[in-house]
Amino acid sequence: MKIAVANDHRGVEAIEQVKAIIAQLNHECVDYSSPTNQPVDYPDLAYKAADAVSTKKADRAILVCGTGIGMSIAANKVKGVRAALCYDELNAKISRNHNDANVLCLSGDLLGSAVLRKIVETWLTTDFSGGRHERRVKKIMAIEQGQNPCEMNDE
Q: Which residues are catalytic?
A: 65, 98
- Cβ–Cβ < 8 Å for 4, 61: yes
CB 45 within 8 A of CB 63: yes
C-alpha to C-alpha distance for 90 and 18, rounded to whole angstroms = 18
